[in-house]
Amino acid sequence: MKQKELYDFVNEHTARCRILVAGDVMLDKYYYSEVTRISPEAPVPIAHVRSEMETLGGAANVAHNLARLGCQTSIAGFVGDDYHCKSLLEKFHKRGIACEGLIKTDRPTTTKLRIIGGHQQMLRLDFEESAPITGGDAARFLDYIQQKLQEGLDCLIISDYGKGVCTKENCQAIIAACKAHHVPVIVDPKGTNWIKYAGADYITPNLKEINAVLADPIRNEDALVEQAARAVMKKFHLGSIIVTRSEAGLSLVREEEIEHIPTKAQEVFDVSGAGDTVIAVFAMGIAGGLAPRDSAYLANLAAGVVVAKLGTYAVSREELMKALKKEAGK
């Protein structure tokens, strides 16, 4: 597809894309501090907090990317009855993300709190419970997804961060329900138990993640990535794979085609959240009827924008359009 057609799609059609993100919802907190002395109480630095920030993380960051791209976005997952949940809800409402699918439990809302001294991360505190979600809570979660499918979806993303939502039972129930409604499923995987994603249309591992499920890890080379992707597709019964490859860009491997797309990043400051951006933009393309190769091209372009920012960042529709204009001018 030509650059102008992709530009017009991003400019005019993203608002029609109905996408649900199901998975591990998180809050990312940052305390930015100045360190000038050591504590007299113990041999540790004293961090004088100058500012703080809270952002959407995990599956919530995927939803944030979709919302900033202008998509009709909803999210399903689990939260606690605590301050961190209130902060998440405020952010979802502010960004126009439908969050009726968040199930309140007696677990804490998954939160990662980072203490930054100068430009260095000094400490991370994790508030979480990662036991598998089962029973009544899982049933309510799956009921909401079924309801959204009946209302109408163009794509569903499973965002797995290993915090208990994406069990084999839950993933297989979601994939089966989506197949019954002819809705494509795109998975951001975690761990090595990829059989739980069997039947998914697309999966988006990075090179480290795909190496974790291979008997013999591979180098970051086109031919090796294609060979590994095809082996993984066969082993775990997956439709297609998008492998994000850092400085080598990304590769889309389907049964009938292979596309190696070089990186568009000019400068790399921070890769955190880049995977969330890739899956969000790719899902937007698929939901809007773009060909997989065009969706992958847009996702790669968006990743180039995100890695040039510090911290977890969600790309906007305007930034993606600007990047497309820049590419068209080359």
Q: Is residue 114 assigned to a domain?
A: no
Ordered DSSP codes for 6-49: HHHHHHHTGGG-EEEEEE-EEEEEEEEEEEEEE-SSSSSEEEEE
Q: Is residue 36 assigned to a domain?
A: no
- pLDDT at site 4: 87
Tens of each residue's pLDDT in the chain, 330 residues: 688 899 999 999 999 999 999 999 999 999 999 999 999 999 999 999 999 999 999 999 999 999 999 999 999 999 999 999 999 999 999 999 999 999 999 999 999 999 999 889 999 999 999 999 999 999 999 999 999 999 999 999 999 999 999 999 999 999 999 999 999 999 999 999 999 999 999 999 999 999 999 999 999 999 999 999 999 999 999 999 999 998 888 999 999 999 999 986 566 554 566 889 999 999 999 999 999 999 999 999 998 888 766 666 788 999 999 989 888 775
- pLDDT at site 79: 98
Please state, in angstroms and rounded to a whole number, the distance separating the CA atoms of residues 5 and 298: 12
Reported as a single tens digit per residue, the pLDDT across 26-63 is 999 999 999 999 999 999 999 999 999 999 999 999 99
Nearest to 82 by CA among 110, 108, 55: 108
**Residues 6+ away with beta carbon under 8 Å from 197:** 158, 171, 175, 187, 189, 203, 236, 238
Q: Is residue 184 assigned to a domain?
A: yes
Whether 126 is catalytic: no
Q: Is residue 42 assigned to a domain?
A: no
- pLDDT at site 272: 60
* CATH number of the domain within which 266 lies: 3.40.1190.20
- The catalytic residue among 28, 154, 276, 294 is 276
Please state, in angstroms and rounded to a whole number, the distance separating the CA atoms of residues 315 and 321: 10
Owning domain of residue 153: 3-26+56-109+129-328
Q: Is residue 7 assigned to a domain?
A: yes
According to DSSP, the residues that pair with 80 across neighbouring strands are 105
Q: Is residue 83 assigned to a domain?
A: yes
> What sign does the CA torsion over 72, 92, 202, 308 have?
positive
Q: Is residue 80 assigned to a domain?
A: yes
Q: Is residue 51 assigned to a domain?
A: no
**Number of independent structural domains in the chain:** 1
- pLDDT at site 102: 98
